[in-house]
Amino acid sequence: MWRKVFFIVCLALACCVLLLNIQGCTKEYSYEIQPVDTTGNGPDSTDTLQTDFIYFQCPQCEKNPGYIMGKWSFMIDSFSFCGIVTGEVMLTERTAFTFFGPSTCSADSGLIITCYMDEPFAEEAAYVSVDLVTLRYYNHPGAKDMLQADASLGFALVIQSYSKTTGIMSGYFIGNVLTDRNTIERISNGKFEIQF
């Protein structure tokens, strides 16, 4: 009888040890980097990695597109960014508006621009400079936005034309942005055309 109990206890302990060693269904995240040249023959003879960030070049984005309804675009150096506008909202007082939408080449990234004015702009407007503007170029898998900007960085947006009758607004934006690496880059040739 004691022999049977001892055998059952040993079997139960063995099962517990096996269960503790089995890994659960956890997803493993990994990031592979380029090997480091530690021989001293490479361009950088130290054992540190080069962390210069190169933006993903989207082949569908033109370098200098015109105004296209429901689209946004901008450039940083020679890298083109573009996407579609999936939402736009304007306060009825016409003192603030926002528009947003994903990037053409990556559904995980996209642009959000929000603008605030001190006073309402007219029902028909041309070349109206926005007082307060913020830009976010987000990346869902990333911990923080790839690009952020506001007026304090020298970022500016101009409403080139707006008609309350048609609800169509087109404009451009330009200026410095803060990257997720805490460096400053310059956006150029930023354009958008939306319809409220």
Only one residue has tokens 């995980």, namely 108
Confidence band of 101 (pLDDT split at 50, 70, 90) = very high
Confidence band of 53 (pLDDT split at 50, 70, 90) = very low
pLDDT of 180 reads 86
Confidence band of 74 (pLDDT split at 50, 70, 90) = very high
What string of DSSP letters covers the chain? -HHHHHHHHHHHHHHHHHHHHS--S-PPP----PPP--SS-SSS-SSPPP----PPP-TTS-SS----TTEEEEEETTEEEEEE--EEEE-TTSSEEEEEEEBSS-TTEEEEEEEE-SSPPPSEEEEEEPSEEEEEEEETTSSS-SEEEEGGGT-EEEEEEEETTT-EEEEEEEEEEEETTS-EEEEEEEEEEEE-
Report CA 176 to chain centroid distance, whole Å: 16
Domain spans, the chain: 71-195
- What tens digit of pLDDT does each residue of 114-145 get? 999 888 877 888 999 887 999 999 887 666 78
Q: Taking the complete model, does pTM exceed 0.75, yes or no?
A: no
- What tens digit of pLDDT does each residue of 161-175 get? 999 899 999 999 999
